[in-house]
A and B are shown apart, each in its own frame.
Chain A
Amino acid sequence: MTLDIRNLGELYGKVSVGDQTSLGIMGNNRDVSVGEIFMIYSHRDGHERVFFFRVLALQNYLRQVDDMARVAGTLMVEGDAYLSGIQRNMLLQVGGKMLGYAELEKGKWVFRSPRRLPDHLADVYRPVPNVSDEAVRKMLASQTDGEVFIGNLQVGEATLDVPVKIPSKYLPMHMGIFGSTGSGKSNLMMVLIKSILDSNLEASRNPNEKRPRISAFCIDPHDEFAKGVTACGIQDIVEAMDQETRASVIGDFYYLTTHLKATPREIQRYGREIRILWEEILPHDLYTIMDFTPQMVSFIDGQYAANRESWISAITDMKDDPEGTPKGTLNAVQRRLRFIERSPIFIRSGSSILSDVFVAMETGRVLVVNTSLMSDTEQFLLTTVIARTVSDLRRAAKSSGTLGDFESQGAIRLPGPFFNRIKARAKSFYSAGGQSDESGVRDPRDMPVILVTVEEAPSILNPELMRGQSVFKDLSRQGRKFNIGLIVVSQQVSVLDNVILSQMNTEVNLRLGNEREIQACIENASVNISGFEDEFRVMARGEAIVTASYRELPLPVRIPLFDTLFERDKSRYKASKATRASEKHTF
């Protein structure tokens, strides 16, 4: 006996019927809810295992009563009827899905997909908060461990102190966050940002642990991450940090906005205005976010070949269709580019933020991007330019043996003026040691993980746009090579392109709006969650089912409120004297 079964929780019932995928349990008449997770202790043939079972259906069962309707009718009609000793005969018939089982292998708990059956009439335990937490944490370590916390394991309506995290090494394999309005997406994003900051803080305080830094370019469509949805926001974390921690984790800025002056003063101190030069935009970026006819693409490509980085100015300044171009093409392209002309963030000349963003992404920092005053198209173009720029630079590094090669590759792939501005910094980031042209280049997988959020994803990740030359199509397929991952945020799953969905390896499925979305979510989950339809229907705000291709177990998670987490952790952001001393010693 290696497991103290008392730590599994409350003895609830017995396994009655079923197979290795679905089970029937006869249990006590307790207030069980759909979604609860039970543990089944089995000791078949000398193998000690704990099976995990998720409740999907409940039915009252009265022993000695074959016809419940008749009994209920009698109680109604015969006002003096009673039920003698019925309490002990009131049972609950619980149906559900087998999630898998944990077993000790060479002293370590491993979790396996359901391929075995618990023993006859095995005991079923119901986890109890503050009793079962540690046992569950140990048994599910392989399913819950990681660097980026997203919530706690939910067992029905209760939550265990079992943190569910995502390993940073799987972040470049892309993540989907799906949920309808009011499902808790904003809070989840804030919790994610906090977790990334916490992970970077750990990495900075423990440099010898080789914990990877994580960068994130986080679109904030409602400008609520910095200030917070209710009481606290990312700004509170920033302010809770001592100067040294802030410099290491946050850097000079974390907040990007269109109009800095309209930002509260305390945030302004860590803010920058979003400005992207026209010359930093490539035709490919535009093809990613809007439809162009083949004639228009041909025309734009021609202008880009002729004018390189000035292609947008060249087109917008043009008066007539050039010779050989079908009539009306110029007008049509100019109409499409008009949003760039009118945009305050895409500028013909001036100072761009792109280099600073690049530096931030390569140094493991989190940027909160207020897009509340941008049009959708501006937001999509911004996301695309950032994603394409960092991925092109990593691609250039990945395809180079030396820094010299990198310079050549970068010059081919990126707009010239921009590359010239950042190449020295880029070389310093990518160098495996030394700054000469002969110096080797680091593998991107040793560089910080870069996450780019794509908000309102269906607008640019739909099948129509993804058929063309979408930046995101490449990124979704090849991002893991460059350690760049997408966080696709969407209210709908059904309208997303299959290429994106099939490349997504972690899904955080929040409450969904309708049956179609529930079905789409189940079909696209990385692990089999068929049969979870009823659960989606009863999910509350902040509850999620996390599925991942690298895990066998679909994890029900309750995402805590950002405010609660911040209040719990705020003291950690100030380095203690001991921490500072140990950092100095390490350095």
Chain B
Amino acid sequence: MLERILTDDFRGKLKLTFRDIENQQDRSDEKEFAKDEVRIREELLDTVTPHASDDTLDEDYLIAAVDGSGSGDLMTLDDVRVHLLSTSTVVLDTNTRAGDPFRPLDRATLENAFGRAQPFLDCHWHSGVRGDARTKMADSLAEIYPLKDSDALVLPFFRDIMKRQLKSMSDLSGTNYGAYTSSLGTMESLITREQMLTNPAVHDELRTASEYAAARIVLTSSIQPKYLLLDGAMSIFMHQARQYPSMPSGFMLRELCSLAREKHVVLCAVSKNHTIPFAHRIARMAQEAFGEGSKWFCLLPGSEDPGGGLYIYQDRTYIPPRLAVPYLFSFSMDNRPSRIDFDRIWWLENVFVQDDPSKTRENEKALFQEIEFMSRDARWYGYPVALALAHEECKLSYEDLRLAREVAGDVRHELGLDPRRTTPYREDFNL
């Protein structure tokens, strides 16, 4: 292949592709960005005022983070796949008073508080047979997520989206959602994208649910963090017609947000790999405005916010996500900007101040001062250290997976089951 990659022909194809993007996408976006530029610079973008490195907080607090990893083919038994899921929860103490900042709580304390091993390893199987696929997936999700009451699982979404106090499902009658209450009673009925249950989609849903489950365990445990960080975005895939989450994980996220608010925990999701257009231009703008090496954040407002959403993502319906408030931020000039999403309901209650942009900004600056403070670990400078540590703990390397597969083979042997090779099929052909 190398001889093809190094040809002029390949370079020519790349040129065509990039020119095409430039002509069709960038130029139109460029126009949109020009419309937003002044607003971004003057209203949405601001600097972070960092804590001094030797600052002692009036009150030290805990920061929890959850991350997960997994594999959708720990073992393939004909059309049955065994999914391996790992999650890790890390809790740090800001610990400024003791002069040893961001000290992790030891594993024994966490395991005792959460009632499960850390990192946590789980496996579930899934069948691709029509009909079974949905049922089996629903079983797995029900097993994974600690909240078993389906009404309690779905109601938070409707409360937040409708901004109404709903005590039970019957309160939905007479609303736009009234017609669907019978489809919201079981985990299986919450899976409305049955036709799209490909193996990767199933694995993603199981993995997301297991991360939310780990987060929920933090919220219901004796550990009372000030922040709970998730990896990724607070996106919810909506059913086009019904306008509620098309998969159970969407409901789980909202239930999690509701519980976090109740427990006075700041729930947020951080993603390095975001899809915000013109993020690099916003970063350049911040550098020009605040100087090289400045630490900054930028609100990405939605249509309901004062001034409405930005032109650059008006055709991108997933930005901002439903019921979430995203920001772009950068605490390190060496890295590209990252994105952080907050629960919109929490944000409206705790950050946004109606008709008082300067008070809102003050709240934002206080929030980002804390997020920046927790993102100074030299190993992952600019990224929240708790999330980085959770990622390090949960990740499954190629070698980990190989060993897990070997163990799976051993276990089948122990059980006297039909022996199967555990290595991926491609390895049979040395591929």
Contact = CB atoms under 8 A, between A and B. Distances in A.
Nearest to A88: B104
A264 interface: no
B187 interface: no
A441 B153 CA distance: 106
A84 interface: yes
A76 to B, nearest CB: 9
Nearest to B382: A78
Interface in B46-78: 50-53
Given A84-B92, A84-B104, A85-B92, A78 B389 contact: no
A81 interface: yes
Contacts of A85: 92, 102-104, 389
Given A85-B92, A85-B102, A85-B103, A80 B377 contact: no
Contacts of A82: 53, 101-102, 376-378
Contacts of A72: 378
Nearest to B102: A84
Nearest to A68: B379
A82 B51 CA distance: 13
A323 to B, nearest CB: 92
A576 interface: no
Contact of A83 (B52, B92, B378): B378
A79 interface: yes
B253 interface: no
A83 B379 CA distance: 7
Nearest to A63: B392
A337 interface: no
A65 B332 contact: no
Interface string B333-375: 0000000000000000000000000000000000000000000
Contacts of B392: 64
Nearest to B332: A78
A75 interface: yes
Interface in A31-69: 64-65
B378 A71 contact: yes
Interface in B373-428: 376-379, 381, 385-386, 389, 392
Which of B52, B103, B376 has the most chain A CB atoms inside 10 A of its CB?
B376
A72 B104 CA distance: 21
B377 A83 contact: yes
| Residue from B53, B102, B378, B389 having most chain A Cβ neighbours under 10 A | B378
A74 interface: yes
A74 B381 CA distance: 7
B377 A81 contact: yes
A80 B50 contact: yes
A84 B385 contact: yes
Nearest to A73: B378
Contacts of A83: 377-379
B162 to A, nearest CB: 41
A71 B379 CA distance: 5
Nearest to A83: B378
Interface string B148-174: 000000000000000000000000000
Contacts of B385: 84
Interface residues of B, number: 19
A80 B378 CA distance: 9
Contacts of B379: 64-65, 71, 74, 83
Nearest to B95: A84
A443 B378 CA distance: 75
Contacts of A78: 332, 376, 378, 381
Interface string A394-435: 000000000000000000000000000000000000000000
A78 B101 CA distance: 16
A83 B381 CA distance: 10
A75 B378 contact: yes
A88 B92 CA distance: 14
A75 B52 CA distance: 15
Nearest to B386: A84
Contacts of A71: 378-379
B226 to A, nearest CB: 16
A136 B379 CA distance: 42
Most chain B C-beta atoms within 10 Å of own C-beta, residue among A79, A80, A83, A85 = A85
Nearest to B54: A80
A83 B385 CA distance: 9
Contacts of B386: 84
Interface in A81-112: 81-85
B52 A80 contact: yes
B376 A80 contact: yes
Contacts of A74: 378-379, 381
Contact of A84 (B50, B51, B52, B101): B101
A84 B103 contact: yes
Nearest to A74: B378
B103 A81 contact: no
Contacts of A65: 379
Interface string B101-119: 1111000000000000000
Most B CB within 10 A of own CB, among A71, A72, A78, A79: A78
A65 B389 CA distance: 11
Contacts of B92: 84-85
Contacts of B376: 78, 80-82
B22 to A, nearest CB: 34
Contacts of B52: 80
A557 B101 CA distance: 44
A338 to B, nearest CB: 77
A228 B53 CA distance: 59
Nearest to A65: B379
B398 to A, nearest CB: 15
B381 A84 contact: no
A191 B103 CA distance: 53
Nearest to A64: B392
A71 B376 CA distance: 11
The residue among A72, A82, A83 with the most chain B CB atoms within 10 A of its own CB is A82
A81 B381 contact: yes
Nearest to B385: A84
A505 B389 CA distance: 56
Contacts of A64: 379, 389, 392
Interface in B90-147: 92, 101-104
A77 to B, nearest CB: 9
A71 B380 CA distance: 8
A81 B378 contact: yes
Contacts of A75: 378
Given A71-B378, A85-B92, A80 B53 contact: yes
Contacts of A84: 92, 101-104, 377, 385-386, 389
A337 to B, nearest CB: 78
Interface in B227-251: none
A72 B389 CA distance: 18
A80 B103 CA distance: 16
Interface in A227-270: none
Nearest to B374: A84
A83 B377 CA distance: 5
Nearest to A67: B379
Contacts of B50: 80
Given A65-B379, A82-B102, 15 more contacts: A64-B389, A71-B378, A74-B379, A75-B378, A80-B50, A80-B51, A80-B53, A81-B377, A82-B378, A83-B378, A84-B101, A84-B377, A84-B385, A85-B102, A85-B104
26 contacts: A64-B379, A64-B389, A65-B379, A71-B379, A72-B378, A78-B332, A78-B376, A78-B378, A80-B51, A80-B52, A80-B53, A80-B376, A81-B377, A81-B378, A81-B381, A82-B53, A82-B377, A82-B378, A83-B377, A84-B92, A84-B101, A84-B104, A84-B389, A85-B92, A85-B104, A85-B389
Closest 10 CB pairs of A and B: A84-B102, A80-B53, A85-B104, A81-B378, A74-B378, A75-B378, A84-B385, A64-B392, A71-B378, A84-B377
Interface of B: 50-53, 92, 101-104, 332, 376-379, 381, 385-386, 389, 392
